A and B are shown apart, each in its own frame.
Chain A
Amino acid sequence: MSSATPSPVPSSAHGHHKRHSILPAVSQSGPKPPVQFSSSCTIADSALLTGPHTIIVSTESVIHPRARLESLGGRVTVGRRCIVHERACLGAADLQGRYHKGSPDKEGRSMGAVTLGDYVTVEVGAQVESGGTVIGEGTTVGIGTRVGAGAVVGKHCTLTANSTVAAGEVIPDYTVIYSNGLRRIDRRGVSDLKNKAQARQIDVLRRMIPSNPGKFQ
């Protein structure tokens, strides 16, 4: 991925007004995917969307700069009010570099590569592998977490930082994965509060991140 010439040399640390972001340009590596964006979603300008399959981003979801959505294994669906942080990758290849295609479900329709429910948060650097992976509603995929291909993560789960979900694993609802693979059930009953907090966060993020969905359409 080549970087074009960046913006001019920044002035010193206490320089005033005319400072630009230093964002090395990202060249579009790979095919431009067909997209279906809701009108109220926020897609940062330097998000990376590649792949031949469709990418769907639903109402009020936020995609931070430098997030990657790859539809090489199938369609990527982001639910409503999701937040995808920078350097997260939806539809990633597994550790051997293969992009899995999901096996078809009971009715024979093909599962998309990655499906995120509503109110999901995918944090910095998380890798959600492609291949019919489903992340349930309200789940938080922590920093640096790797969710294996075809895994089905339940609703309102919390995957803490640097955890791993094996390929094809099914995680029940309200599970917390912490430390080195330990699991427990979250009995706090705060799902509604978390959803409300996520909605508030999205209100703020929508004003902070300049959205440019037209670039990808």
Chain B
Amino acid sequence: MSRRPPRGEYIETDTGNKVARKATLVGTQNIMLGGKTVIQPDVMIRGDLARTIPPAQSASGGPANNTAVAIGRYCFLSRGCCLRPPGRMYKGVFTFMPLRLGDHVFVGPGTVVQAAQIGNHVHIGGKVVIGEFAIIKDYVKVLDGSVVPPNMVIPSFSIVAGQPARIIGEIPEGGIEAFELRDLYKTVGNNPQPTAP
């Protein structure tokens, strides 16, 4: 009789996504994971809050691709964070818009993200609140405990902190490598590789 391997804490998909068993993903049909993304336990992703009006006259394709949350590659969602699509009144109807995360996005523990769009290589600290329809461009660092108000646009290469969040600095020239999350991805999972010395 073959021995079944012990149940790990993470489910690893064939595209390299590591999803914790204790994460709460509601409406997974509308959640797109880019690949090599880590979702830690107690994360909550609301994929059921999808857009209600179809984006165009859908003559093409039966089941419309109704993505509520799209996450890029090498993203890292820490414990207890919550991703939910933003919603507002649009043409007289309340509707949810898709939440798009780019690649190499780190979301800290306990953070709530309701943005419309987050670019690539963004580091979001812990206990941050990102208000509805905020747009965060590439290479941004959001410090712990910030509250990004709704509809704020954070330009690339900025460092943002405070309540309400203000731009307090710029990413220095040599600071770009710190955003890469490939090494962090390898340290998590059922067979974690030790960090490189």
Contact = CB atoms under 8 A, between A and B. Distances in A.
A associates with B: yes
Interface of A: 3, 6, 9-14, 17, 19-24, 46, 65-66, 86-87, 124-125, 142-144, 160-162, 178-180, 197, 200-201, 203-204, 207-209
6 closest pairs, A vs B, by CB? A161-B129, A201-B94, A22-B25, A13-B33, A200-B94, A19-B28
Interface in B112-163: 112, 114, 127, 129, 131, 145, 147, 149, 163
Contacts of A20: 28
A208 B84 contact: no
B106 to A, nearest CB: 19
B163 A162 contact: yes
Interface residues of B, number: 46
Contact of B164 (A13, A46, A178, A201): A178
A200 B15 contact: no
Contact of A125 (B11, B15, B82): B82
Nearest to B45: A22
B22 A3 contact: yes
B94 A21 contact: no
A46 B50 CA distance: 19
A78 B15 CA distance: 44
B48 to A, nearest CB: 6
B142 to A, nearest CB: 13
Contacts of B15: 12-14
Q: Which among B50, B94, B127 has the highest number of chain A CB atoms within 10 Å?
A: B94
Nearest to A26: B24
A13 B22 contact: no
B35 A24 contact: no
Given A3-B22, A23-B24, A160-B147, A12 B14 contact: yes
Contact of B11 (A10, A162, A207): A10
Nearest to B145: A162
Given A13-B32, A13-B35, A21-B26, A201 B87 contact: yes
A44 to B, nearest CB: 9
A110 to B, nearest CB: 34
Contacts of B149: 160
